[in-house]
Amino acid sequence: MRPLLRLVAVPGEYIRRAPRLRLIQTFSAGVDGIDRAAVLERGDIIVCNSHLNASEVAEYAVALLLCAAKRTVPRNRDFRTGSWKHG
């Protein structure tokens, strides 16, 4: 089985040009960019793993909120340039 990892839209033309294609896997939320009719007429499989990294995305969002609340980036810049105010 040779998978095609979807990074961009997959039109029917691409699917028809890949005779050994059996699987299209996507990590996005949905399969709107994939020509489902072309996939189904060949009997190939579409796998959607949209929930795979949900907890990591949530953790990253919380980390960004904390950085914004504590002004981490400007304070880091001030510390590195020597203009950090003590106290």
Residue spans of alpha helices (H) in 1-87: 12-16, 36-42, 54-70, 72-81
The domain 1-52: what is its CATH number?
3.40.50.720
Write phi, then psi, for 35 (nearest 5 degrees).
Answer: -75, 90
Residues 46-82: tens digit of each pLDDT: 777 777 778 888 999 999 999 999 999 999 999 899 8
pLDDT digits (tens, 9 = 90+) for 10-38: 888 888 888 888 888 777 777 777 888 88
Return the minimum-mean-pLDDT range out of 1-5, 40-44, 54-58: 1-5
* pTM listed for this prediction: 0.48
- Please report, for residues 7, 14, 53, 74, the alpha-carbon distance to residue 20 in angstroms, rounded to integers and kept in the order given: 19, 12, 29, 52
**Total Cβ atoms within 10 A of residue 71:** 10
Domain ranges of the chain: 1-52, 53-87
